[in-house]
């Protein structure tokens, strides 16, 4: 589906074959903060604060560790609640590396449908950042149905499986924004204790092959799907999906894989931010398209403070 930019690109490349050279440009860049935070009922609120780098910089991303980050509900007189700093963790000692971030104690503030929340970030040397987002109304998954889970026709290929399923939900408002996410999970045999097999689930994000929908959709940069409610007719949306996964089936210990589906009804800021990043990723090699400028509701900086609410379901794949 990303064919058109490619066509234009290839055509241009023949014209300018070998005619590119490095130019020195002095581009003005003011240091700025990047704040990323998504909030949803039932999910832990985390916020990342980092410095943006100049475009030609080769230094790695730096995260802000001495900021003060606060969250409050706007709809009542709730005070600001400060979020706790979580330092970065290196990949050593068997742990997965992660950058530093700020987290809100779940007991301090409930994130609820229909409410508006305000995020405040004070970082030394930068103007205070205050931004808000609203948690939209929930859209529930009406029906999830399994169609097929089949191995790729090419048996000598790597273990690629195709998943086909149907999703149905009621689309009631043209102003809705949807983010569909998929998770393929299956238990992996780990060990036996006292004759009992203990398993752990492994999860991967399937690749979206196709959505049979007349309206346009965008596959987001993390293999989800972004759907603009304005492109859909209101009423029941029937969405046949076609995904593919890498699945190394253990025939000696058959397990039941499952497809997890999460339907997020998002705020506009959340949707447009992800949409823009997805589009920027998709056309990053194009030399003819206008650039995708990432919208941001973070004043004096970049990033996004986005609210969403989700419904989820699971489709067992086969027996």
Partner 1 sequence: MIWGKLRIFIYAFNDNIMRRTTICFFLFFLFCLTLSAQPILDKPLDVRFDGIVLTEALDVLAKQNGVDFIYSPEIIPEKTVQIAEADMSLRELLDLMFYGTDVGYKIIAGQVVLFKKAEAVQKFTISGYVEDGSSGELLVGANVVVRRQPIGTSANAYGFFSLELPAGTHELVFSYSGYKTFFKKIDLRQNRSVKIKMDASLTLKEVVVTASELKTLEGNHNITHISSGDLNNMTSIGGERDLYRHLSMLPGVTTGADGIGGIHVRGGSIDQNLFLLDDVTIYNPVHMIGVFSIFNEDAIKSVDFMKGGFPAKYGGRLSSVTDIRTKDGNLYDWQTSIGLGLSTLRVMAEGPLVKGKSAVLFSARTTPLRWLVRPISRNYKAANNKEGETILSFYDINAKWHYRFSDKDKIYFSFYKGGDRYGDVNEVYYQTMSEEGQLNNRDRSDDDIRWGNQAGAFRWNHDFGDKLFMNTSLSYSRYGFTAQSTGVHVDTLLSTNSIFSLAQQQQFRSEIEDVNVKTDLEWHWSPSSQINFGGMSSLYYFTPGVSSQTGIVSFDSDVLELDRRFFDTIDNETVKAKDYALYLSHDLKWRRFQLTTGLRWSGMKTANRFYHAFLPRVNLAYRPFSFLQINGNYTLSQQYLHLLTTSGAGLPTDVWIPSTDDLAPERATQYNLGVDVQLGEHWAFGAEAYYKKMDNLIAYSENASFNFINSENYKSNVATGEGTAKGIELEWQYRSDKWQAALHYTLAKADRTFATINNGNAYPYRYDRRHDLKLLGTYTINDHWNVSASFLYGSGLAISLPVGRYNYNQPGSFQQPVEVLIYDARNSFRLPANHRLDISFLWKKTMKNTVQSINFGIYNVYSRKNALYYRLGRNPDNPSEPAFLQATLMPILPFVDYKIGF
Task: Looking at residues 121 to 140 of the shown chain, list those that interact with partner 1 (rule: CB under 8 A).
Answer: none
- Looking only at residues 44 through 73 of this chain, which bind partner 1 when binding is defined by CB under 8 A? 46, 48, 50-58, 61
Span interacting with partner 1, options 119-127, 131-139, 287-295, 309-317, rule CB under 8 A: 287-295
Whether the CB-CB separation of 102 and 46 falls below 8 Å is answered with yes
Using CB under 8 A, which of 66, 74, 281, 299 touches partner 1?
A: 281
Whether the CB-CB separation of 255 and 183 falls below 8 Å is answered with no
Tokens representing residue 129 in the block? 């950042």
Rounded (5°) CA angle 109-115-120: 60
Using CB under 8 A, which of 76, 77, 107, 154 touches partner 1?
A: 154
Residue 202 C-beta: closest distance to partner 1, Å? 11
- Looking only at residues 197 through 236 of this chain, which bind partner 1 when binding is defined by CB under 8 A? 203, 205, 214-219, 221-222, 226-228, 230-231
Residue 79 C-beta: closest distance to partner 1, Å? 25
Should residue 143 be labelled a site residue for partner 1 when binding is judged by CB under 8 A? Answer: no
Should residue 150 be labelled a site residue for partner 1 when binding is judged by CB under 8 A? Answer: no
Residue 303 C-beta: closest distance to partner 1, Å? 8
Whether the CB-CB separation of 105 and 161 falls below 8 Å is answered with no
Should residue 21 be labelled a site residue for partner 1 when binding is judged by CB under 8 A? Answer: yes
- Looking only at residues 77 through 116 of this chain, which bind partner 1 when binding is defined by CB under 8 A? 86, 96, 98-99, 101, 103
* Rounded distance between C-alpha atoms, residue 64 and residue 78, angstroms: 26
Q: Is 183 helix (H, G, I), strand (E, B) or coil?
A: strand
Element spanning 278, H or E: helix 268-282
- Looking only at residues 295 through 314 of this chain, which bind partner 1 when binding is defined by CB under 8 A? 295, 302-303
Residue 269 C-beta: closest distance to partner 1, Å? 11
* Rounded distance between C-alpha atoms, residue 319 and residue 185, angstroms: 14
Whether the CB-CB separation of 243 and 274 falls below 8 Å is answered with no
Q: Is 92 helix (H, G, I), strand (E, B) or coil?
A: coil
Tokens representing residue 127 in the block? 């103007």
């Amino acid at each position: 589906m990303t064919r058109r930019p490619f066509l234009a690109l290839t055509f241009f490349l023949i014209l300018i074959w070998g005619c590119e050279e490095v130019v020195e440009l002095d581009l003005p860049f003011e240091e700025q903060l990047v704040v990323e935070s998504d909030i949803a009922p039932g999910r832990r609120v985390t916020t990342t604060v980092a410095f943006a780098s100049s475009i030609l910089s080769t230094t790695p991303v730096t995260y802000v560790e001495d900021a003060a980050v606060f969250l409050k509900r706007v709809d009542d007189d709730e005070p600001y609640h400060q979020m706790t700093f979580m330092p970065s963790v290196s990949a050593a000692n068997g742990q997965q590396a992660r950058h530093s971030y700020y987290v809100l104690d779940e007991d301090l503030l409930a994130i609820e449908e229909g409410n508006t929340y305000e995020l405040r970030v004070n970082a030394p040397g930068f103007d205070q950042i205050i931004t808000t987002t609203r948690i939209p109304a929930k859209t529930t998954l009406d029906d999830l149905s399994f169609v097929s889970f089949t191995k790729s026709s090419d048996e000598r290929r790597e273990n690629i499986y195709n998943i086909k399923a149907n999703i149905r939900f009621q689309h009631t408002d043209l102003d809705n924004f949807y983010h569909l996410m998929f998770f393929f999970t299956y238990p992996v045999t780990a060990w036996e204790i006292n004759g009992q097999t203990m398993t752990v689930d492994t999860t991967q994000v399937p690749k979206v092959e196709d959505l049979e929908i007349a309206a346009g959709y965008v596959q987001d940069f993390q293999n989800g799907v972004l759907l603009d409610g304005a492109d859909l007719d209101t009423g029941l949306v029937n969405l046949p999906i076609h995904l593919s996964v890498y699945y190394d089936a253990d025939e000696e210990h058959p397990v039941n894989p499952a497809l997890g589906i999460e339907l997020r009804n998002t705020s506009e800021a959340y949707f447009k931010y992800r949409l823009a990043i997805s589009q920027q990723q998709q056309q990053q090699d194009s030399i003819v398209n206008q650039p995708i400028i990432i919208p941001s509701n973070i004043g004096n900086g970049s990033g996004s403070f986005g609210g969403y609410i989700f419904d989820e379901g699971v489709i067992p794949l086969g027996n």
